[in-house]
Amino acid sequence: MKASRNDFLVVIIGPSAEVISGSLLRPINIYYSLRDLRGLKVKYIPVKKLPDLLPQLFTILYADMIIASGVNPWISALVTLWRKISRKMVIVDFHGFAWIEANATNAVGVLLKTFLLISEKISYKFSNYVITASKWLANTLAQYHGGRREVFVIENAVPYIFEKVSRKLIEGYGSNFNTLREYVCKKVLYCNDSSTKLLFTAPLPSVFRSNILAYEELLKLSRFLGENVLIAVTGIKKADRLGIPSNIVLVGHIGYVNYVALLLSSDGVILPYPRNAICGGVRNKVLEAGYCKKPVISTKTGIIHLKVLPMIHYIPINVLLKETIYQSNEWKLIAGKLHEMIIQQHGLTSFKRAFLELLRFIFRDQRNIGVHVYD
């Protein structure tokens, strides 16, 4: 490794930023946690497809440290093998366990499942260090791939860009979101009569099979909620209205600012994930809702990996089936409790602190085995 304090190059390989997705938010948090550190040069390489790696091959092979986060398992595996061959440090940040999730949701065929398992095993076994988004994920990877040293848990945090965009919108529109709601109704929902209804958001991008399963549950649930409720579903491709309940609006893939505006102006977030719709860490949509003090109406699976209690931190789905579905004061108290937990345990400051502690350990560990790294 290079000894120079001024040119220690950390490269983060993550998803393309053309579209802001859940997979992008964690590597972006890593980037903003490291970029202002003295003596580090931090570069982000966006990868959408495997050929995107080729123009960056020299950097990937010779950077002082590579962090692969949020990319497809086969991309992570290939980068890990390249770094192993060149005897350079590589850290793989696991957001989830794609093979387990594919099996649970029956998302893909046998061949692709096998490819996922092999790819994830390569990344897990041959990387220098492994980071996971939850203790459950660390334990599950060890169960299937075998135990190893240097596995660290850093839980998901409120995305940096979400904090930034929401702060700008609040500065522009103030704490009274009536004007923002009017904008959302006209420019996002295209429903002029929605301002008087209860507006719930369901962020369910169809790129993940678990979200499709949640959407199928939402379709069943919506039929019991009446016409005074409007549910805005993001990330599901717009379709013909035939067969879709009148209280559901499919807004498709919207810009990130509009998504944050929709969440800020809504009365709550609905996450009806079935039991098999598992994920590797706390869902970003839960962190975002908690940050904004929005009530989260969810199944236990929707709010997985958080130590929360029903009707203390979140509202169970079955409450929506009761005669009075929105108890304003009670739900505000519940949203406030979740907000406190998110700010204390899942803020960007906590994420940055945990990541810097990990880097200190890594630098000490490398020196102990005779490798000169960043001072």
Phi, psi (5° rounding) for residue 13? -100, 115
More confident residue, 374 or 60: 60
DSSP letters, 275-298, are TT---SS--HHHHHHHHTT--EEE
What fold does the segment set 160-345 form as a domain? Rossmann fold (3.40.50)
For residues 60 and 144, what is the distance between their CA atoms, to the nearest angstrom?
28
What pTM, to 2 d.p., does this model score? Answer: 0.91
Overall average pLDDT of the 13-41 stretch: 91
Residues of the chain with CATH 3.40.50.2000: 8-157+348-368, 160-345
168 pLDDT exceeds 60? yes
Q: What residue type is assigned to position 147 of the chain?
A: G
For residue 74, the one-letter residue type is: W
pLDDT of the residue at 7: 75
Indicate if the pLDDT at residue 192 is higher than 80: no
For residue 342, pLDDT over 50 is answered with yes
Taking CA atoms, 280 is separated from 120, 210, 215, in Å, by 14, 12, 19
The answer to whether residue 265 scores a pLDDT higher than 90 is yes
CA distance 375 to 361: 12
17-25: long-range contacts, CB 8 A cutoff, minimum separation 24? 17/46, 18/46, 18/48, 19/253, 20/161, 20/256, 21/205, 21/207, 22/205, 22/208, 22/283, 22/284, 22/285, 23/70, 23/71, 23/95, 24/70, 25/159, 25/161, 25/162, 25/284
What are the tokens at 327? 């108890």
Tell the CATH topology of 8-157+348-368: Rossmann fold (3.40.50)
Of all residues in the chain, the percent with pLDDT exceeding 90 is 71
Helix (H) or strand (E) holding 104: helix 98-105
pLDDT of res. 6: 58
Length of the chain: 375
Q: Is the confidence at residue 242, as pLDDT, over 60? A: no
Q: Exposure of 339 by Cβ count < 10 A (0-12 exposed, 13-18 middle, 19+ buried)?
A: middle
Q: What is the pLDDT of residue 321?
A: 67
Q: Is residue 194 predicted with pLDDT exceeding 90?
A: no
Average pLDDT on 162-176 reads 89
The whole-number pLDDT of residue 326 equals 63
What's the CA gap between 104 and 230, in Å, rounded?
A: 30
Residue 362 CA, distance from chain mean position: 25
pLDDT at position 3 = 39
CA distance 27 to 11: 11
Question: Which pLDDT value is given to residue 165?
Answer: 96
Evaluate whether 27 touches 15 at the Cβ level (below 8 Å).
Answer: yes
Over residues 101-113, the mean pLDDT reads 89
Confidence check: pLDDT of 373 > 70: no
Average of pLDDT values for 117-128?
Answer: 97
Q: Is pLDDT at 372 greater than 50 in this prediction? A: no
- Output the six-digit token pair for 80: 């890990």
The percent of residues above 70 in pLDDT, for the chain, comes to 91
Using a 10 angstrom Cβ sphere, with 0-12 exposed, 13-18 middle and 19 or more buried, the burial of residue 364 is exposed
Query: Which band of pLDDT confidence, cut at 50, 70 and 90, is reported for residue 325?
Result: low
Give me the pLDDT at residue 119, please: 97
Q: Is 347 helix (H, G, I), strand (E, B) or coil?
A: coil
